[in-house]
Amino acid sequence: MVSTAFLHPTAQPAPQSPVIGLEDRVQLTDVSTATSLAYSRQNVASAAPLALGDMLSVAGASIVAYGVLSLTATPPSISPIFLALSSSLAVVLAFFLLELYPACGVPPVVEFRQAVTGVALVATGCLFASLSLHTATTSTLACFAIWGFVSAILVPLTRSTVRALCSRFEWWRQPVLVVGSADFCRHVENSLCNDRRSGLRTVAVVVNETDRSNFKRYRGDEIAGLAKRHGAYRAILSSLSLPVGEVANSGLPIPHLHLLNHGAAAPMLWGRTTERNGWPELECQNRLLVPSSAYCKRAMDVIITMLALPALLPLFIILVAAVRVSSPGPAFYSQRRLGRNGEQF
C-alpha cells in the first residue's frame, strides 16, 4: 500500500492509494529503539538470502576445484570441507566490507564488478597465505586458481537467481519514501515497480509543489511522520524540490537519503561524488577517450581473448551447431561500428 501526501490539486493519486491529509502532521522526533530494530530486521531479511546463496555457490566452487584436481592430478592437501567452509566465510566477510549486503538498489553491473572483485581478493589472499606459510604445492595453488575462476562465474549467477526468486515476496524489501514533484514521484515509483529485483519498494509518496523554502519548517515534520509510520529505510528526493543544503540539515529520521539531480546527463555509473564548498560534486570518468587508456584496454581484450579462447572453443562449437540447426543464417557476421563524427572503428 502506497500513501500519498501533499498532493497538488492537479495531480491525481494512484488507485488504492490513500491520501494523507495535512492534519496528519507528526512532530519531528529522533529515531527510536523500535525503529532502529526494525531497520536491523530489514537489513537482515534483505541480506540473508544473498549471503546464503553466496555461501552455497562458493562451496560448490570448492567441490568443483577439488574434484577436477582429484581426476586430473594429485588432490590438494587441504580438506574439501575445510576449503568450502573457510572460503564461504571469507567471501561473506569480503562482500560485507564491499557493501554487497543487502545491496538493495545497487545497479547489476556494479554488483557484478564488486562480486568479482571480492572473489579475486579472497583467491589472491589464499594464494599469498599458502606461499607465506610454506604450505603451497602445485595442486594447492591450482585448487585456489580453479576455485577463483569458478566462483567468479557462480557467485554473480547465484545472486541474480536469488534476486529473481526473492523479488516475488513482499518481505524481501527496503521501504522507500519518494519526495518531489508529481512527475518526479510518478517516474520514480514506476521505475521501482518495474525493477523489483532491486529490493526497493515505495511505501509513501510526498508531492511537493509549493514553495521550496517551506520544506524544513513544515514539510520536515510531515515527512518524518510518514517515515516513522511506514518504517522507511531510504528516501529518494528531487534536487529541484529541495533547497541546496536542506537535505542534511532537515533532520529526517531516515538512514539513507538519495538526492536525484534532474539536469545531469553525464555518465554517472562509475562516477565519484564528493562535496565542494557545500555543493555536490560528481566526477565522471572518461578515460577511454584518452589514447593510452584505449590502447591498454585493447591490449587487455586481446590477451584475455587469446587465453580464454581454448577453454571456450568447445562451447563456441556447440553454439555454432545450434545456430546452424535453428537458423539458416551465418553463425558469425560482421557489423559496422560508427563512432564520433560517423567514423568507422
**241: CATH:** 3.40.50.10700
**DSSP-derived 3-state class of residue 59:** helix
Choose from 39-48, 99-108, 220-229, 260-269 the range with maximum mean pLDDT: 99-108
Same domain, 276 and 298: no
Same domain, 48 and 62: yes
Give the CA radius of gyration of the chain: 25
Please give the model's pTM, rounded to 2 decimal places.
0.72
- Domain span including residue 78: 38-166
35-50 residue pLDDT tens: 566 677 778 888 999 9
With contact defined as beta carbons under 8 Å apart, do 204 and 3 qualify? yes
Count of structural domains within the chain: 3
Same domain, 114 and 95: yes
The residues, ordered by sequence, that sit 6+ positions from 160 with a Cβ below 8 Å of its Cβ are 108
Same domain, 244 and 128: no
With contact defined as beta carbons under 8 Å apart, do 42 and 56 qualify? no
How far apart, in Å, are the Cα atoms of 162 and each of 54, 145, 157? 10, 26, 9
- Burial 259-296, CB ≥16 within 10 A → b, else e: bbeeeeeeeeeeeeeeeeeeeeeeeeeeeeeeeeeeee
Same domain, 153 and 236: no
DSSP 14-52: PTT-PEE-GGG-----PPPHHHHHHHHHHHHHHHHHHHH
- 89 has pLDDT over 80: yes
Distance of alpha carbon 193 from alpha carbon 203, whole angstroms = 11
- Per-residue pLDDT, 15: 36
Element (H, E) at 256: strand 256-260
| Lowest-pLDDT choice from 71-85, 125-139, 206-220 | 206-220
Same domain, 154 and 67: yes
- 190 has pLDDT over 60: yes
Distance of alpha carbon 244 from alpha carbon 47, whole angstroms = 33
Same domain, 161 and 269: no
SS3 content of the chain, % helix, strand, coil (to 5): 55, 10, 30
